[in-house]
Structure 1
Amino acid sequence: MGLSSFRSARARDAYVARYDESLSASSVPITESDVPTSFGRTHVLTAGDRSKPPLVALHGSSSSATAWVPNLPVLTATHCVTMVDAIDEVGKSVASRPTTKSADLVRWLDDVLCACEIQRSAFIGASRGAWIATHYASAHPERVERLALLSPVGIACGTSPRFLIHGLTTIGVWPTERRVWSMLESLVTPATRSALRQPPWRMLNDQFVAGALYFKTSMSNPQPRPWPLHSDCDLRPIASARIPVLVVIGEQETANDGPKSAARLRRQLPQARIEFVADAGHGLAQDRPEVVDKLLGEFLS
């Protein structure tokens, strides 16, 4: 199975049930499929008119492709959306060997695009997914039509040690339902916390909690999965190719220093549109969904 797996067959079944509940909440029809890659079988969700231009969506850490379900009405208005379960995260993908560096994730994602017959695409990524998408755009700028980054980490700034330690101890070391819910609440502003237990977020957050409880990460592995600890993305190929870039950061971001990240991005990617969202933290799509959808709709049109 590689470096990580579910704690048991029963645990996987329980998680998959939550995953399927999240899918059932979609107002846009979704097709599920699996594609082969050099790192294992990757689960893919597809939504929207296949005659429209492609958009590849990459979720954040400890999440899955279902995280994009609330955004689908906006995303599918202009694109056929391919949502991918990261090969080294909780989800329906099944790893056959580990990813140990960002180049592995670039190769894996390129395998996915080839299997899906996507030659060139728009990309959207959240948190760690934004980091993966940026590495891909740097390695293959000719295949990236535009790039939207929500709450990015590891691109212009490293990840906050406090943020990392909180997530590591909650999910990787000692996950309990109460602790995982507390972590989810820490990602949003106080005004949003009660909404996390209401539709449309309740099903997704129940799935997140199930993943934290049931998915086994190999903490003892000497080569853990690649993580955006530092700012390690080469943005020069993206700048040279003049790829349109949208960066959306919550004014109360906790994963890194948002203003510092924005300042560096402005210097390195002068073509980028950088937007700060008031009353939003790292989970800005939950804090201010209407603002995020408006920005994405404008950028993708």
Structure 2
Amino acid sequence: MGSLFKSEEAKARLSGWHTRFREHISAATEARSVETSFGKTHLLVGGAEDAPALVLLHGALASSAHALRELEGLLEHYRVYAVDIIGQSVMSADVRLPVDDSSYGRWLAEVFDRLGLERALVVGVSWGGFVAIRLAAYSPERVEKLALLVPAGMVKSPISSSWKMGWPMTKFMLAPSEKRLRGFWKKLLTTMDEEWVGYLGEAFTGFNLNMKVPALARAEELQRLEAPVFVLGADEDLSFPGEAVVARAAEIFPNLQKTRVVEGCRHCPPTTEAFRTSLASELREFFEGSAA
């Protein structure tokens, strides 16, 4: 199927970005690797060892460090296992998994086994939301509570998004430039964070972008999921419009406890300290039961 990366040099540069984002995490983290039948899986672990276990899943073409950079506040209250999703992170095995079967659910269940986790709180961001849903379908007893942030795998992208995002992306990929990079990312980023813009420019030119669209979750495959669910959407999300996401959530999750659509927010939420703090607090309230 070929490598995820266009060259070894591109892979090295992306690995350097993982290190760079990790350096922004003020709390102590430990790098670990576990072997699964799908390949090596890297993760960052932090937080008190006796705190409740929480598995954090990042978005497409990102890493554990990117997710922890934005949700570092969770480390104050949970034992966080930020997993580098196989096929979507430079830190884990260079393989692609099918997105139309139970492969991602089976992979993540194996990661739980290797870490000695019977069950955990689970937070999935964008593509990580799709992976979390696959675990909930395959092995629902492993999920204590589930939080999905602008998740993939729930609704199809509107046809209009193909033009609004596809054309700026195509122009950048054909002839990369700073102007075209920003023209593309302003469609996705709520905050034009210089570090995120720089990283994403490297990611879109360094990864081989032959990603398949994840299969949409179905109500019948989630009937056994007893865990409470929280779904967060974004009102200006061109990929997965927030109102459509929360409406679909009500159709497929038997124990949906909370939904919210963030106003003035694109697919990538604000990368401000105020938003990071408020989101971590909102997640904690949900996990501790006060947001039902």
TM-score (norm 2): 0.85
Unmatched 5+ stretches in structure 1: 220-224
Partner of 1:13: 12
3-state SS of the aligned residue for 2:109? helix
3-state SS of the aligned residue for 1:56? strand
Letter in 2 for 1:209: G
Taking a change above 3 Å as real, the CA distance of residues 153 and 15 of structure 1, as seen in their structure-2 partners, is closer
**Deviation for aligned residue 1:8:** 2.4
**Deviation for aligned residue 1:163:** 4.0
Map Cα deviations across residues 93-128 of structure 1 (whole Å, 9 max, x no partner).
123564353411111111211111211011101111
Matched, 1:187 2:174: no
Taking a change above 3 Å as real, the CA distance of residues 100 and 236 of structure 1, as seen in their structure-2 partners, is closer
**Distance (whole Å) between structure 2 residues aligned to residue 205 and residue 26 of structure 1:** 19
Partner of 1:158: 156
Matched, 1:39 2:25: no
Q: Which moved more, 1:279-288 or 1:129-138?
A: 279-288
Taking a change above 3 Å as real, the CA distance of residues 154 and 162 of structure 1, as seen in their structure-2 partners, is farther
The one of 235, 238, 241 equivalent to 1:254 is 238
Taking a change above 3 Å as real, the CA distance of residues 176 and 40 of structure 1, as seen in their structure-2 partners, is farther
CA contact under 8 A between 2:222 and 2:252: conserved in structure 1?
Answer: no
Letter in 2 for 1:116: L
CA contact under 8 A between 2:3 and 2:95: conserved in structure 1?
Answer: no
TM-score (norm 1): 0.82
**Distance (whole Å) between structure 1 residues aligned to residue 201 and residue 94 of structure 2:** 21
Within a 5 Å distance, the mapping from 1:50-69 to structure 2 comes to 50-69=49-68
**Distance (whole Å) between structure 2 residues aligned to residue 163 and residue 56 of structure 1:** 31
Map Cα deviations across residues 176-231 of structure 1 (whole Å, 9 max, x no partner).
35344433321134xx33xx12xxxx2x44333222222234x4xxxxx5532x5x
Matched, 1:278 2:263: yes
**Distance (whole Å) between structure 2 residues aligned to residue 77 and residue 18 of structure 1:** 24
Taking a change above 3 Å as real, the CA distance of residues 291 and 162 of structure 1, as seen in their structure-2 partners, is farther
The one of 202, 206, 215 equivalent to 2:207 is 215
**Distance (whole Å) between structure 2 residues aligned to residue 214 and residue 264 of structure 1:** 34
Within a 5 Å distance, the mapping from 1:89-100 to structure 2 comes to 89-96=88-95, 98-99=97-98
Partner of 1:130: 129
**Distance (whole Å) between structure 2 residues aligned to residue 117 and residue 164 of structure 1:** 42
Aligned residue pairs total 282
Matched, 1:113 2:105: no
Q: Which moved more, 1:37-46 or 1:69-78?
A: 69-78
CA contact under 8 A between 2:150 and 2:240: conserved in structure 1?
Answer: no
**Deviation for aligned residue 1:80:** 0.8
3-state SS of the aligned residue for 1:242? coil
Taking a change above 3 Å as real, the CA distance of residues 45 and 161 of structure 1, as seen in their structure-2 partners, is farther
3-state SS of the aligned residue for 2:231? strand
Partner of 1:144: 143
Partner of 1:26: 25
**Distance (whole Å) between structure 2 residues aligned to residue 152 and residue 113 of structure 1:** 21
Unmatched 5+ stretches in structure 2: none
Q: Which moved more, 1:290-299 or 1:79-88?
A: 290-299
CA contact under 8 A between 1:177 and 1:213: conserved in structure 2?
Answer: no
CA contact under 8 A between 1:138 and 1:235: conserved in structure 2?
Answer: no
**Distance (whole Å) between structure 1 residues aligned to residue 278 and residue 3 of structure 2:** 36
Taking a change above 3 Å as real, the CA distance of residues 73 and 16 of structure 1, as seen in their structure-2 partners, is closer
Partner of 2:276: 289
